[in-house]
Structure 1
């Protein structure tokens, strides 16, 4: 969706400049009049679920996409590699937590939640073998806001509100323990996992990533350290002082803590009370004397940002300690969930000024209003929840997830081995930043005087360089002797170039070539092709328009015969084929 919106901004800006500068009698744009008449061809279906499905896969295990679009729609099988460390904070001396409980992938998160009490303990665990898990995308561990936990609620209760529409669902973390038990019970009852085998955890995101671990008495997760991290209180009414402590001589080998197993009766966590040691404290006595109370939350967030943060050039590493089995990605944006798409389409046609076909009714007259509308289109997934998913659709998703997980456990799944997250990330990195650069170059045209042919040529050359780079994998240049109509939409060259671009990533995914896709992979093939089609249609059309203008306006022999040979050498950079 990010890339498609970049294309939308690019296209609208391009058309806007063509219109504005043609009216100002800029000579370069007199030949662009035909672009305005064919602008109806440049349409993106904003009601399609394909770009949302694409964007969901692109954002898996990434902090920023899941923060900006917090209502997750994906359920993904995953694995935790051997010897991966996870952390758990407590307010008691028990060697093992009751089950199920939470572990974090960052020590700062465990301490940020449970630290700075008079009985703070930090438990470090390490996986002894590959641990199988299920990942819910979005901010699926966030207790505030709507839609964050919809996928989990539908999976457990077949609705997004409460287990029993006529019953009571407890407040705050009580609901969290109900969800944790519900997910673990589902895996156990459906033969998908249990103590020491199959699915043993559920990965979710808050500021960072955490995991519900179903059974701490299994052998997959080993306690390697239990520390009492209670810090001495600061003196009363005395300014804080920093004391230096000599480093202790440590060896690389330390004895492992003994494991005290719990009785079967106490293994599973009941709904805890406020004073339960598993619950984060609501307040702390002598809080002004806790030396790290103010910094521990900040440490949690900065740790998450440093581990997972994105930049303007693309996503960060994400949670790379979790390995997604991408051939089994399940997503509520799949075409099979039509009820959700129809309900969403009705709302967005009204709020986003879309036609019944999903096309945006753009107003090119007011630039500020246009950009405001484009921003709303780019952000529309922020409002998507799963409120309109029917119980039948929830049952389909549940059955699909059980089928996928059983196939993966038995290693009998029809999996191509494609890493769909890598593919979608590659597409975003290929187009997002270059399209933004082209847009910036387009906007720079307003500073060029109409009479400055040299600056105009330099500007057009820059545009051509950039569009050429994006068309390079798909375009085979025609002979200079070809008629200028070769650059039109209805030409064979356009159709051939478009086909190469459209199926650039999926050309080999065909039963005729012996490659058979599962229903899940078919959904993502559809999402990639639909997204790529929207990019290619506009990008190639604009690229061809640039080539047409270049050949018509700038690639002609100079009226000065002395310059003709030089211009021919500089401009006609044709490589013999």
Structure 2
């Protein structure tokens, strides 16, 4: 079994055979060493499941989820760093309490509902100030995926590894130093800023005089508050609380417009220069930290100093101007094709096989439905050689055709043009398709043996349905696509489906010193200390090591969708 796991890792995760990341087309290595020949012989073996250490499923899904609110809210700890371009005439917004265009790095929102939440009147009757900027040249920005602006442990790992070389829990709130140190690091690469996400997307803009111009700087009617960003009140009784609730829900709604593909379209991804912490060749130190861990708890923090040096070296490569142009493959569309073909169908098949009544009819319906997914791969004449055999290996040509058709040209004539990042994405697409087709073609072939070549009296429909159901359940769990994460039952018209997100998590309290009134966010570097925070906030951020999550706090570590009202009366987020 261990040998199979290692072989699967070679096939699916694909460690380099000649050079770092230089994964070689399958057909190009037939005359290589015996071990390589064995790999070629075994690659369409139905018994060969992915290695526990394989990351193709993670790379595929995280790349598929880039710049989308929903999947990056569910899995907060980002694992990708991608150069993006902010196009000309994109509007950016900054809310503040005084009329002063920032003279140094500051935060801007991509939607005004988000920035308006920071438009605070700290003196009654004075109003607040809301700055609107327009991009005058393409902005060169680095995007951190996940909920990379959430002040929670794990969310900012990739930023802090770049800025400070390590991750410190007590510096989660040290945003002032974080933005200054990142901007200082990125200056040599002419980076204009960094894109992150919390309830909506934002940009840490390094210079308000470069690449942007002021469209307006308006004194708006601002809500008079004494603290920076209070949480959602549990009991709403005063009109001003209703007003604040509306402002919060407008932010959530604006974020939800980017929930699913195509996501935030005002940032244009360059996938030819993607860096992924799920790249096991680049960051082998992270393999052990992920072993037997749910994806909710995967973090780049344990990368080690050697891993950080590889990260900085790789970022130096992708951020220099002498980059190859890439193959021209539209990776986003290729991934969408795979998802469009299989997401709904796998969900339906899983539903069919999980039914418990009339198992014989369920078995036949599921087999016919599975065959209907595969007709373009069912070669005429490919049939079992022996009616008494229980092996489905005779269907390997169909397995191969199903798994390799979408990338055959990329593996062939286009392969020499691929960048390192493209080869990583290609490997993830190949590995994902291989597992989908291994399971689907395996179920279909098993059905041919059992339903067409076996006497009905010898068939145990319940056992076969249970077996197929387990295979599909394992597959969908392995893929873990965000398309399957929904509110069940569906929300009513007066509701919206919501995944708990920073800073509106159940029971969260804005950090403050016990016994003292709320205060302005300190601008003095290092003024935010972990010991200033309440125990509940400590627990939410995961700073109490011996703390066991109960059902309520589980929302914080494994956020699940739920229906919340979108018109009055609002319920607790």
Class of the TM-score when normalised by the shorter of the 2 chains: 0.5 to 0.7
| Partner in structure 2 of residue 304 of structure 1 | 255
The CA distance in 1 between the partners of 2:139 and 2:160, in whole Å, is 24
Q: Is the 2:161–2:301 Cα contact (8 Å) retained in structure 1? A: no
The CA distance in 1 between the partners of 2:384 and 2:296, in whole Å, is 51
Cα distance change on mapping 1:81 and 1:535 into 2, 3 Å: same
| Runs of at least 5 residues in structure 2 that lack an aligned partner in the other structure | 1-44, 232-237, 457-573
TM-score (normalizing by structure 1)? 0.64
Give 1:391-540 correspondences, 5 Å limit. 391-407=305-321, 410=322, 412-444=323-355, 446-448=356-358, 456=360, 459-478=362-381, 484=387, 488-491=391-394, 494-510=395-411, 515-540=416-441
| Partner in structure 2 of residue 60 of structure 1 | 66
| Partner in structure 2 of residue 342 of structure 1 | 288
Cα distance change on mapping 1:399 and 1:42 into 2, 3 Å: closer
Cα distance change on mapping 1:282 and 1:136 into 2, 3 Å: same
Give 1:10-409 correspondences, 5 Å limit. 41=47, 43-94=49-100, 96-115=101-120, 117=122, 118-143=126-151, 145-161=152-168, 172=173, 175-188=174-187, 191-193=188-190, 199-218=191-210, 220-231=211-222, 280=228, 292-305=243-256, 307-309=257-259, 315-336=260-281, 337-345=283-291, 348=292, 380-407=294-321
Q: Which deviations, in whole Å up to 9, do the C-alpha atoms of 1:451-509 show, x marking residues without a partner? A: xxxxx55x455323321232223221327897547994322xx2222222222332122
What's the CA shift for 1:103? 0.7
What's the CA shift for 1:138? 0.6
Identify the range of structure 1 (129-138 vs 507-516) with the bigger mean alpha-carbon deviation: 507-516
| Partner in structure 1 of residue 450 of structure 2 | 549
Q: Is the 1:116–1:292 Cα contact (8 Å) retained in structure 2? A: no
What's the CA shift for 1:192? 0.9
**1:504 aligned counterpart, secondary structure:** helix
What's the CA shift for 1:328? 0.7
**1:317 aligned counterpart, secondary structure:** coil
Q: Is the 1:88–1:104 Cα contact (8 Å) retained in structure 2? A: yes
Q: Is the 1:119–1:230 Cα contact (8 Å) retained in structure 2? A: yes
Q: Is the 2:46–2:392 Cα contact (8 Å) retained in structure 1? A: no
Q: Is the 2:353–2:363 Cα contact (8 Å) retained in structure 1? A: no
Cα distance change on mapping 1:484 and 1:126 into 2, 3 Å: farther
TM-score (normalizing by structure 2)? 0.64
What's the CA shift for 1:514? 6.0
What's the CA shift for 1:42? 6.5
The CA distance in 2 between the partners of 1:512 and 1:171, in whole Å, is 47
What's the CA shift for 1:282? 6.5
What's the CA shift for 1:549? 3.4
The CA distance in 1 between the partners of 2:82 and 2:51, in whole Å, is 27
| Partner in structure 1 of residue 523 of structure 2 | none
**2:215 aligned counterpart, secondary structure:** strand
Q: Number of residue pairs matched?
A: 402
**2:57 aligned counterpart, secondary structure:** helix
Runs (4+) of structure 1 exceeding 6 A deviation are 479-482
Larger gyration radius, structure 1 or structure 2: 1
What's the CA shift for 1:420? 2.7
Q: Which deviations, in whole Å up to 9, do the C-alpha atoms of 1:338-396 show, x marking residues without a partner? A: 11112322xx1xx7xxxxxxxxxxxxxxxxxxxxxxxxxxxx11011123201111111
Cα distance change on mapping 1:71 and 1:171 into 2, 3 Å: closer
